[in-house]
Amino acid sequence: MKTAFLFPGQGSQFVGMGKDIYEKYEEAKQIYDRASQITGSNIKKLCFEQEQAELNKTENAQIAILVTSLAIAEVLKSKKIEADMCAGLSLGEYTALIYSGYLSFEEGVQLVKKRGYFMQHYLPKEQFKMAAIMGIESRKVEEICTTLQKQGMFVVPANYNYKLQTVISGNEEAVEKAEILLKEKGAKKIIELKTSGPFHTQKLEKAKEAFEKELQKVKFETSKQMVIRNIDGKPYKKEDNMQQILANHMVSPVRFDREIAYMQNRGIDLYIEVGPGKTLTSFIKKENKEVSIKNVCSVEELEDLLYTIT
């Protein structure tokens, strides 16, 4: 059986995520404690006790999700459950890179802490919005965005989640106008996301420049573990300039639709979403109803996985 680990991105966070796993497994506790020591922040308190509004802030949500996902992955490793390949959505790509050994735990945690800070604080002083457009092809979403751009409005595709779901990002007025036009074009459902920044667009150019300086300080290792890139849905290669790819990642759309296609073509049988939420496995299920999917963010879900595959 071929297994893929899927690591969630921002928006999946909730207060209490990972708490019971932290309390039961020493491997998880060590991950939270190490991350707290590295960042100088109480990650356990942030994940388990913080108000939801505070947890939702980009600089908090990213590090909280990362550490929760890595803690769960560490417990899975102790149970001899490991991935043949990994993929993540936006932030989740960093989780995959740390899990797979491309990034050391210490440098990876520090990077994500800084990434979240830059993405929250290095934004233009405008009101932005992100919305998931469902039940319509990405080509039609692109057409509407292009039409509005020609009218001087800023709205672009930011995440290609699967064939019939694309997230758009832009100024509030432009996103709201796009929503109206896309409903007229046949969109079945539109959900506005819990993230407010213009993520994965050129509006994060200042954040990218600041983050790129931090990336240049980091040493990336080689790994036999396959990690699929968000920018094009292909695996990282030994010769890749990872600093440049991850800098561009901040201002480029996420092509999770292509990642799904790649994993399908490689014959993945079991997809495990490691961390909060069930977003990524829901994307997989939309494209292939026959594969097995599991989610792990609680002791109950972990024990269910163990029972299923052992």
> What is the domain-level CATH number for residue 138?
3.30.70.250
The per-residue pLDDT for range 99-114, each reduced to its tens digit, is 999 999 999 999 999 9
In this structure, the answer to whether residues 222 and 287 fall within a common structural domain is yes
Last residue of a domain, one of 153, 173, 192: 192
In this structure, the answer to whether residues 247 and 118 fall within a common structural domain is yes
In this structure, the answer to whether residues 75 and 141 fall within a common structural domain is no
Q: Residue-wise over 228-240: b if at least 16 C-beta within 10 A, else e? A: bbbbebebbeeee
Inside any domain, residue 236: yes
Residue 196: the pLDDT is: 64
One-letter identity of residue 146? T
Task: Report if pTM > 0.75.
Answer: yes
In this structure, the answer to whether residues 81 and 219 fall within a common structural domain is yes
Residue 208: the pLDDT is: 97
In this structure, the answer to whether residues 209 and 249 fall within a common structural domain is yes
Residue 254: the pLDDT is: 97
Inside any domain, residue 185: yes
Mean pLDDT of the chain: 95
pLDDT in tens for each of the 310 residues of the chain?
899 999 999 989 999 999 999 999 999 999 999 999 999 999 999 999 999 999 999 999 999 999 999 999 999 999 999 999 999 999 999 999 999 999 999 999 999 999 999 999 998 888 999 999 999 999 999 999 999 999 999 999 999 999 999 999 999 999 999 999 999 999 999 999 877 689 999 999 999 999 999 999 999 999 989 999 999 999 999 999 999 999 999 999 999 999 999 999 999 999 999 999 999 999 999 998 889 999 999 999 999 999 888 7
In this structure, the answer to whether residues 32 and 173 fall within a common structural domain is no
Residue 289: the pLDDT is: 87
Rg (CA), the chain: 19
Catalytic residues: 90, 200
- Give the C-alpha distances (Å, rounded to integers) separating 35 from 32, 71, 170, 177: 5, 10, 33, 42
In this structure, the answer to whether residues 95 and 139 fall within a common structural domain is no
In this structure, the answer to whether residues 235 and 135 fall within a common structural domain is no
Q: Residue-wise over 131-149: b if at least 16 C-beta within 10 A, else e? A: bbbbebebebbeebbeebe
Last residue of a domain, one of 192, 216, 246: 192
- Choose among 255, 270, 250, 268: nearest CA to 199: 250
Q: Are 226 and 268 in contact (CB under 8 A)?
A: no
In this structure, the answer to whether residues 21 and 156 fall within a common structural domain is no
Residue 193: the pLDDT is: 85
Inside any domain, residue 197: no
Number of domains composing the chain: 2
Q: Where are the beta strands (DSSP E) in the chain?
A: 3-7, 85-88, 128-134, 155-162, 165-171, 189-192, 226-227, 254-255, 270-274, 292-296
In this structure, the answer to whether residues 115 and 237 fall within a common structural domain is yes
161: domain range? 128-192
